[in-house]
Amino acid sequence: MAVPGKVAAFHLPPLPTVGEIIKLFRLKAQKQLSQNFLLDLRLTDKIVRQAGQLKNAYVCEVGPGPGGITRSILRAGVEQLLLVEKDARFIPGLQMLSEAAPGKVRIVHGDILTYKMEKAFPKHLKKNWEDEPPDIHIIGNLPFSVSTPLIIKWLENVSKKDGPFIYGRTQMTLTFQKEVAERLTANPGGKQRSRLSIMSQHLCSVENCFVIPGQAFVPKPEVDVAVVHFTPLVQPKIQQPFELVEKVVRSVFQFRRKYCFRGIETLFPESGRLKRTEQLMMTANVDPTLRPFQLSMSHFRNLCNTYRKMCDEDPSLFVYNYREELRQKKTTRNLLKSTSQPEQTEEENQL
């Protein structure tokens, strides 16, 4: 859990307000990029406080836009701030902030989904995974369209201890749609319990910090926004490869409202499906009549461990794809239908 830090350890010289920057450079939020600006510096300060103590820390801000959160991060007294911004329209305004804090800001015009974080910070900051988190933080007001794929990518990095986690248990403070934040932090039995809940909580301590009402943003989104803090765990709760855990969890939640065995059986080919499903659930000690959202972390751990043993015995299991099997069956049906169709038409013509 992050210890809220103090903001305002560094004083920026007089600058145009964020609103004035938007007018000066004629910036307009693009709906197709799901951009929403946060102009209230009290709220940006509050987001930054959730990251913890940032004095002399190294920070990567994702999608700084017009620079509202950027100002709050700089005022917290960071040693170095890396800004990764995809939209070139925001670069001039960010350069203005860079000039106001000489030697502290580095701007990268690029996409965070493809940006290589392994060399983003000095090597001396690296810590052992078992140690306290390094003085490195990721902070960002994420566009809604990128937030879920990005957190899944970073969770995979946590699992493999690469990307931004090559330095140790790097902490993240990020914004999500309120509903997504509720999924990330949902407990067993909760309405929002989902694939995201398991994938995030088995790898990180996840805290839903506070909610920002939609009207605080420009333009106003149709939903409220929540700030979520992640701290990678020393030991994951499910000690299996990321790809295996994701496959099991995705299969379980494929039929969210049905009994969990309905999703679990999609892990197996049609031939021998029922027998293998029963074997997996009995060995993992999971009640087949529980709904997916009722399963605990220990249920998922048992399912993953048992499925791993079954895959070790039959390596073809792990590469099996239920959806691909469905597509092939559909293609076969369509081919049979198309080859039989001309005969019917010919018969009809003769009649």
**Which pLDDT score is estimated for 351?**
25
Q: Is the pLDDT of residue 35 over 80?
A: no
258, 187: one domain = no
Q: pLDDT per residue over 178-191, tens digit each? A: 999 999 999 999 99
CATH code of the domain in which 301 resides:
1.10.8.100
Contact between residue 38 and residue 44 where contact means Cβ atoms under 8 Å apart: yes
320, 281: one domain = yes
Q: Is the pLDDT of residue 215 over 80?
A: yes
19 assigned to a ligand binding site: no
75, 148: one domain = yes
55, 176: one domain = yes
Q: Greater confidence, 330 or 193?
A: 193
How much is the average pLDDT of 41-48? Answer: 96
How much is the average pLDDT of 140-167? Answer: 96
Q: Greater confidence, 335 or 161?
A: 161
CATH code of the domain in which 128 resides:
3.40.50.150
162, 226: one domain = yes
Does residue 96 form part of some domain?
Answer: yes
Q: Is the pLDDT of residue 339 over 80?
A: no
- Name the pLDDT band for 23 (thresholds 50, 70, 90): low
**Which pLDDT score is estimated for 239?**
97
Domain span holding position 85: 24-232
How much is the average pLDDT of 247-273? Answer: 96
Distance CA 121, CA 331 (A): 50
**Which pLDDT score is estimated for 331?**
86
**Which pLDDT score is estimated for 349?**
43
Single-letter amino acid code for the residue at 106? R
- Name the pLDDT band for 347 (thresholds 50, 70, 90): very low
How much is the average pLDDT of 16-26? Answer: 62
**Which pLDDT score is estimated for 333?**
82
Does residue 342 form part of some domain?
Answer: no
Does residue 215 form part of some domain?
Answer: yes
How much is the average pLDDT of 13-26? Answer: 62
217, 72: one domain = yes
125 assigned to a ligand binding site: no
63 assigned to a ligand binding site: yes
How much is the average pLDDT of 186-200? Answer: 97
pTM of the complete model: 0.89
244 assigned to a ligand binding site: no
73, 196: one domain = yes
- Name the pLDDT band for 218 (thresholds 50, 70, 90): confident
181, 260: one domain = no
Does residue 6 form part of some domain?
Answer: no
Q: Is the pLDDT of residue 204 over 90?
A: yes
Q: Nearest-CA neighbor of 137 among 94, 82, 91?
A: 82
220, 277: one domain = no
Does residue 284 form part of some domain?
Answer: yes
Does residue 186 form part of some domain?
Answer: yes
| Count of domains observed in the chain | 2
Q: Is the pLDDT of residue 107 over 60?
A: yes
Q: Is the pLDDT of residue 348 over 60?
A: no
Q: Greater confidence, 32 or 75?
A: 75
**Which pLDDT score is estimated for 336?**
80
Q: Is the pLDDT of residue 198 over 50?
A: yes
94, 200: one domain = yes
**Which pLDDT score is estimated for 337?**
77
Distance set, CA 321 to CA 68, 96, 317 (Å) = 45, 51, 9
Does residue 251 form part of some domain?
Answer: yes
190, 309: one domain = no
Does residue 11 form part of some domain?
Answer: no
115, 219: one domain = yes
**Which pLDDT score is estimated for 329?**
84
- Name the pLDDT band for 345 (thresholds 50, 70, 90): very low
Q: Is the pLDDT of residue 341 over 70?
A: no
20 assigned to a ligand binding site: no
% of the chain at pLDDT higher than 90: 76
Q: Which of 203, 232, 261 is at the close of a domain?
A: 232
77 assigned to a ligand binding site: no
